[in-house]
Amino acid sequence: MPGPDAYIEVDDLSVAYPDRTAANKHLLAIDHLSLSIPRGAFISVVGSNGCGKTTLLLCLAGLLKPTSGTVRIAGVSPAKTTCGFVFQNYRESLYPWLTVLDNIAMPLWMDGSSRQKARQEAADLMTRLKIDLPVERFPYTLSGGQQQLTALLRAVIHTPTVLLLDEPLGALDVGSRSELRDAIQRIREAIGATTVLVTHDLNEAILLADTVVALTPRPARIAEELEIRLPRPRSQEVLQDPKILGWRDRLHTAMLGTQTP
Amino acid sequence: MTRDRILLALTLVGIWSILAYSRIVSPLFLPEPHAVLGSFWRGITTAAIFRDIGATAARVLVGFLIGGGIGVFSGVFIGYWKRLYNASTPFVDFVRSVPVTAILPLFLLAFGIGDSAKIAAIAWASGLMMLINTVLGVASVPPTRIMVATTLRARPYQRLLFVILPDALPQIFIGIRTAISFAVVVAVVSEMLLSTTAGIGAAIYNASMMYRTEDVYVGILLTGAIGYGLNLLTARADQRFVHWRAR
């Protein structure tokens, strides 16, 4: 059901992985999934572990070829679109041989800018967003929250039209989690990218998104689509809203599937 | 710690002196410290020692550079190309199980008894070390780091230059450290086996043929000192250039 103003269009998407336990068999990760995301929207995708939500995100990033069906971003293949991607594991996504500033600036010099100009732009972005990081240090000397913030800035320095977040808060402790959640809201507001967040934390999903999409257990299909009508910017207090409890229940039931044993 | 090390060194020299001066061990096997020192001094005054060190060092350097270059280049290629990597694993394991001394006759046949056979043996041994470690480094880059570059539409050469090579660098440095010390071993061995005029291995061999044990000891201690020095040097370089190791 592609809408008229859809920016990201997922049409009848299926992804099957070869089954390691049996030859010539396949594990279906995503089963005929269609989804349309309007330009500038913030979508959270929730689902239980191993349901295929990261697979969906990899397809949106063009990192994985669908078995059947199509993904289109502004009408073209995701492999031709430059997106921003934040992985859960910042340790394995940041480049430890580069300083924090060079990590953030990397997308720019990869695209042909001079190192000096890229560094300047990265510093400017941080001033604009009022973000303070020890930029001359190496990422492994920073706290987890600061490292993930570095990864987030690197994902937006080239102002991508699509921002994909794969459990960005998953590896963080509670304190840095809420800090980074605020940073995500602020940064997204500033660059206005169409954003897809994958998580299994319902509070996080509701707090950040305009729409929460719940997936069924594997193979992933859409179980529920909920619009979150809450004013922005949202802080932890939003979770006190009585509406939230009902939403969480609906999403929870949906993502566990109706035919749970 | 430094004091303990000096103490241990003095103790070892002390035990050596007791065993040698009391003739508990014959000077044919264990010459007196002053005899070894005298031989060392003679080597310096006649400049023979510098000629030998220079010859060995030159072979090590040239062999290591040739072998290392080929090893890194083909290691990147093999590590990057999954199919070749999977296919080549048993061959690489086989080849590295063959001692280089067993192949030395082949190098002799191919290059004659001159320097080129020795350099070829050094290049072979150190190149293999560099290849194995480079393959390991390139093949074990975390997929996420490559995916980051892919989402940025990095070209293949950018992926290689900005992600894969730097990420493999710690392992390549391990390769450099093992390859260099291995190169010294092969240099000395080939100098002993393939007759030559200059080189530490040749000096040790010639001395032993004439029962000049003190000269043999000078050669052994020199080889140890060179290996130790190279190890310190490469360890320093490692700390400097791959500061993120194990992070």
CB proximity list for B192: less than 8 A, separation 6 or greater = B201, B202, B204, B205
Contacts of B151 in chain A (CB under 8 A): 61-63, 82-85, 164
Residue B37: φ, ψ to 5°: -60, -40
- Are B152 and A93 inside 8 Å of each other by CB? no
Confidence of residue A226 (pLDDT cuts 50, 70, 90): confident
Contacts of A159 in chain B (CB under 8 A): none
- Are A93 and B169 inside 8 Å of each other by CB? no
Whether pLDDT at A4 is above 70: no
The pLDDT assigned to A261 comes to 38
Nearest to B28 by CA among B212, B218, B219: B212
Residue B172: φ, ψ to 5°: -65, -35
Mean pLDDT (whole number) for B189-217: 91
Which candidate from B142, B243, B244 shows the least CB-CB separation from A92? B142
CB B108 within 8 A of CB B120: no
**Listed range (A232-241, B144-153, B173-182) with the worst mean pLDDT:** A232-241
Share of chain B above pLDDT 70, in %: 100
- Are A110 and B151 inside 8 Å of each other by CB? no
CB A61 within 8 A of CB A53: no
Contacts of A61 in chain B (CB under 8 A): 147, 151
Read off the pLDDT of residues A199-224 as tens digits, 9 standing for 90 and up. 989 999 999 999 999 998 888 888 88
- Are B147 and A110 inside 8 Å of each other by CB? no
Whether pLDDT at A3 is above 60: no
Nearest to B74 by CA among B53, B88, B59: B88
CA A232 – CA A189 distance, rounded (Å): 10
The residue that leads in pLDDT, B101 or A50, is B101
The nearest alpha carbon in chain A to B166 belongs to A97
Give, for A10, the enclosing helix (H) or strand (E): strand A6-18
Among left, alpha and beta (phi > 0; psi -120 to 50; other), residue B203 is alpha
CA A14 – CA B110 distance, rounded (Å): 59
Buried b (16+ CB within 10 A) or exposed e, B202-234: bbbbbbeeeebbbbbbbbeebbeebbeebeeeb
CB B56 within 8 A of CB B200: yes
CA A204 – CA A134 distance, rounded (Å): 27
Which candidate from A82, A96, A97 shows the least CB-CB separation from B153? A82
Q: Between A and B, how many residue pairs show a Cβ–Cβ distance under 8 A? A: 56
Which candidate from B144, B162, B244 shows the least CB-CB separation from A93? B144
User: The tokens of B10 are what?
Assistant: 């003095």
Q: At what angle do helices A144-156 and A174-191 cross, to 10 degrees?
A: 10
Read off the pLDDT of residues B114-142 as tens digits, 9 standing for 90 and up. 899 999 999 999 999 999 999 999 999 99
Predicted-complex ipTM score? 0.88
The nearest alpha carbon in chain B to A163 belongs to B151
Read off the pLDDT of residues A49-73 as tens digits, 9 standing for 90 and up. 888 899 999 999 999 999 999 999 9
- Quickly list H helices, B46-164: 48-80, 82-97, 100-111, 115-139, 143-151, 156-159
CB atoms within 10 A of CB A124: 11
CB proximity list for A14: less than 8 A, separation 6 or greater = A28, A30, A31, A32, A33, A66, A67, A68, A69, A219
CA B194 – CA A162 distance, rounded (Å): 66
Residue type, A55: T
What's the distance, CA A97 to chain centroid?
25
Interface contact A66, partner B, CB < 8 A: no
Whether pLDDT at A36 is above 70: yes
3-class SS of residue A115: helix
Mean pLDDT (whole number) for A228-248: 84
Confidence of residue B47 (pLDDT cuts 50, 70, 90): very high
- Are B148 and A97 inside 8 Å of each other by CB? no
- Are A110 and B158 inside 8 Å of each other by CB? yes
Chain A nearest CA to B69, separation (Å):
22
- Are A96 and B247 inside 8 Å of each other by CB? yes
User: The tokens of A160 are what?
Assistant: 């991508």
Whether pLDDT at A2 is above 50: no
Chain B nearest CA to A214, separation (Å):
25
The answer to whether the peptide bond before residue A139 is cis (omega within 30 degrees of 0) is no
- Model pTM? 0.88
Contacts of A193 in chain B (CB under 8 A): none
Whether pLDDT at B86 is above 70: yes
Contacts of A96 in chain B (CB under 8 A): 244, 247
Interface contact A136, partner B, CB < 8 A: no
Nearest to A234 by CA among A191, A188, A200, A194: A188
DSSP A129: T
Which candidate from A82, A89, A138 shows the least CB-CB separation from B144? A89
Interface contact A77, partner B, CB < 8 A: no
Mean pLDDT of chain B: 93
Measured between alpha carbons, how far apart are the two ends of chain B, in Å?
Answer: 27
Contacts of B146 in chain A (CB under 8 A): none
- The listed range with the strongest mean pLDDT (A22-31, A97-106, A107-116, A225-234) is A97-106
3-class SS of residue A196: strand
Chain A nearest CA to B211, separation (Å):
54
